[in-house]
Structure 1
């Protein structure tokens, strides 16, 4: 596992994972194969151990890793040094690749300048998540009928931010297999927020073909067996994660933390102030001016005996969930917004 300058490039040498991916790719001697973010060449090694494609092109953004790949594979692979998402050399491969296999970066941090460049190139995509951009980019490299096999987080199947990617896949591809398994199967990696999956797709629509969702794996060695649970779903169902049986297994915020609403005074003009007054305590109200932080205290609420009696007895007031007052937690305004305005609060 390696994290190169925030690129979140995690490399696996799991024999079970690599063996499954290579089997699904089904490389033929006449194939032109591409691998983005090739790292130290573990996936390329696995492919070349069972097949000899006509051309194998590796792309790598890290210069020392690219040099290592050239030395390791010499005349067996062509190594491109640069950013797969933006490289003109990769642009030249559009529509010319038969097979793509890879383990793209997950959650790689991008500078604001880089994000803007990516927004220009992928205008409808969620550019803060790198792996989804790699999926979209590499599909454009495939010939009609070409195949892509990736290992990625499973969040693209259900998060709303990845709806465009699901629509992109539905419009251009036929997803034949999705293998769902815990991130702990990947040596050195364990996500709290999601699992991992291997996605096997073919470029070109086939509305009649069902997608096979493989799940229920207990150990990584199970990936090479046929003991998993297999659910067949229509291609169009991938657009609506709430229809999918495996979507029900995704943890909700309420399962990870207590989610409650705060106090309602019933008369904000009487009890809430923008400046501290005697008998008042700080109040987190609305959203902070900066993402994820509330900043200086901007509101104060009366907390004397008279005010507390009013909150507890007035019909318009709600002195609710009082055991959560003055505790460490995350606050979030209830006003609808395109962006999450959650912030950390303490005391």
Structure 2
């Protein structure tokens, strides 16, 4: 069934059930009914055909019976009342009965119902996050749960657990999303010694996928299905989760799957209720006192190392963390504290066995931004990035950030990893899956790349710029723009509406159009729209008496609001770019008549020849590509372009200089052909 239809169904039932019930009763009533239908396909028919006075009693009795066998969602808060709307004529049971029967054949259906029933609440919290609200501890789990699509789970499991098993000589099939056909070159291991954990398991869909692969393993070794399933639950699979509801769904889903093979052991999945309401799997285990069997077991699992770790960690930026969570993260994971997902990557690296495998679905921010540089360098130092899928920005309907999924092995290696760059393929996750399959089934693919950590270390801050060629990686060994010439950020007035005007809004007699004259208004480079070579010369700044008013501009408490920086570089020829841009890098020439502010970040060459050549170089396609690597966001800060590699200029550059000057002249004529230019004389069409 289409996810959007299932989401609408769950949202409608949530609204219906909440009309005359509290939220816990509505949630558990809905999820128990779904789990009952999944466990017994005749249950809905039986409930809907029961006499009007019996459905509630029948439902409660069935929940009791199923709770004895499958626990989890049937047992947690079993004392809650049954919502009347759940079993009423025209209620949830009848609506659920009308859904396509094939949905009950999908192993992750309970997790999807859990996610979609809670989606309106998660969306409500997300609105608060967009308004820069800090997240209270009781909302962390709900706000950060994101259901992982089934095929992405398969990709992660096949390229971690699947790869490990085949490397160790086990006779299992290569998965359709497994990137490499590895050879059996590692020593043998006992199947019971292979441990797999999802420390942020949510509703358990990663564990359900791993269960299937372990079943294939045990069957290949001659075990019967019931013994194999029993061993998987007792020895191989582990899960930890902050949210007790999601954990209950995971437990029931795993027990239902195992029961199909004749096994009824309790899965090794635990929530942190009564133990930790905030940190969860980030705890080391040493903090737990072992006051209960559950606490002692979780402490043991937190201290243990695992063969395979696969997870979709929570995404929560530092500004949205509450004071307690932020303090915890800063105290224990300061180098990785930019986001909760990066903290979890670091924690998982602490938990992995030697030569073990890790798989993640995370935002792409860690690939490029400087705030994640220490995480990247730790990964390069301690692990080997082996595969990655870089998704299109809006491919995930439920995510508000661009995502990537990747796998890596513990232990440094200089071997190339395989990267699929799907950023240009719109069409949702179905399109992304199709492109992955195409890339894995053709010998040459334009969006399939290979690169190693050694390549990334050539680049300042070491971003995962896997799509660059070897020549571009080597280019970063050259001198940088910041080493060659001063790169500076200009003045911050503290109130642009007060101190800035467009040149035609003020008296020409009080404006210094040329040179540093004794006037009130001076020409200002203020960045602006995408434009190369020449232009964006619209603003003037109140710099009367050497900027006396701006330099002394303070708030009501006496704190200086302005920041008069870069003043020594005012009225010097420069090449400049806008600090905020939605397009590619565009660089413009400014002469000695201009001041510059923070939005018009500038570089100041030492002579005219250097200025002309740098202007041409920075407007090239190569420079634009390098700039995207150094900072893929909309904010091009001075430090970003200061790290741009600059080749040594040849001795004879006369032809280059001529072409660059022609470009400046053409763009100047274009700029001056409109009345917004102070050099306007006549429109070209007149």
Partner of 1:267: none
Deviations 1:293-316 (A, max 9, x none): xxxx69954979558732445536
Give the distance between the partners of 2:453 and 2:466, measured in 1 at CA: 14
Given that 1:37 and 1:84 are in contact with CA atoms closer than 8 Å, whether structure 2 keeps it comes out as yes
Equivalent residue runs for 1:189-228 within 5 Å? 189-191=399-401, 195-207=402-414, 209-216=415-422, 218=425, 219-222=431-434, 223-225=436-438, 226=440, 227=442, 228=445
**How far has the Cα of 1:334 moved from its partner?**
8.2
Q: Secondary structure at the match of 1:185?
A: coil
Instruction: Give the 5 Å matches for 1:261-340.
Output: 285-286=493-494, 300-301=498-499, 305=506, 309-315=510-516, 317-320=522-525, 321=536
**Cα-to-partner distance string for 1:41-87 (whole Å, 9 max, x where unaligned):** 22222222332443211111112222332333343631232311126
1:181 aligns with 2:387: no
Please say which of residues 83-92 and 228-237 is displaced more in the overlay: 83-92
Q: Structure 1-normalised TM-score?
A: 0.70
SS state of the match for residue 246, structure 1?
A: coil
Q: Determine which structure has more spread, i.e. the larger CA radius of gyration.
A: 2
Considering Cα pairs closer than 8 Å and 6+ residues apart, tell me whether 1 or 2 has the greater RCO.
1
Residue of structure 2 aligned with 1:86, choices 274, 278, 283: 283
**8 A Cα contact 1:147 1:200, kept in partner:** yes
> Is the counterpart of residue 51 in structure 1 residue 214 in structure 2?
yes
Residues 1:19 and 2:154 aligned together = yes
Matched, 1:103 2:312: yes
May I ask how many residue pairs the two structures share in their alignment? 289
Residue 158 of structure 1 aligns with which residue? 368
Q: SS state of the match for residue 184, structure 1?
A: coil
Which whole-Å CA distance do the structure 2 matches of 1:131 and 1:90 have between them?
Answer: 22
Hey, what does 1:253 align to over in structure 2? none
Which whole-Å deviations, capped at 9, do the CAs of 1:246-298 have from their partners, x for residues lacking one? Answer: 379xxxxxxxxxxxx9998xxxxxxxxxxxxxxxxxxx714xxxxxxxxxx69
How much has 1:138 moved relative to structure 2?
0.5
Shift of 1:94: 4.3
CA distance in 2, matches of 1:237, 1:302: 45
1:112, CA displacement in angstroms? 2.1
Deviation at 1:224, TM superposition (A): 3.4
Asked if the contact 2:205–2:250 (Cα under 8 Å) also holds between the matched residues in 1, the reply is no
- Give, in angstroms, the shift of residue 203 of structure 1: 0.6
Two-structure CA RMSD over aligned residues (Å): 3.7
Tell me how far apart the structure 1 counterparts of residues 464 and 311 of structure 2 sit (CA, whole Å): 28
1:169 positional shift: 0.6
Query: What runs of 5+ residues in structure 1 fail to find an aligned partner?
Result: 249-260, 265-283, 287-296, 343-347
Q: Deviations over 1:112-167 (max 9, x none)?
A: 22212111111322x13111111110011011011001111222111111100011
1:149 maps to 2:395: no
Cα distance 1:262–1:110, how it changes in 2: closer, same or farther (>3 A)? closer
* The structure with more strand, counted as a fraction of residues: 1
Q: Is the 8 A contact 1:263 1:318 kept in 2?
A: no
Would the alpha carbon gap of residues 44 and 312 (structure 1) be closer, same or farther in structure 2, given more than 3 Å must change?
A: same
SS at match of 2:511: helix
State the secondary structure of the residue aligned to 2:321: coil
Q: Which residue of 1 aligns with 2:550?
A: none
Tell me: CA distance 1:69–1:305, structure 2 relative to 1, closer, same or farther (3 Å). Answer: closer
Instruction: Give the match for residue 379 of structure 2.
Output: 169
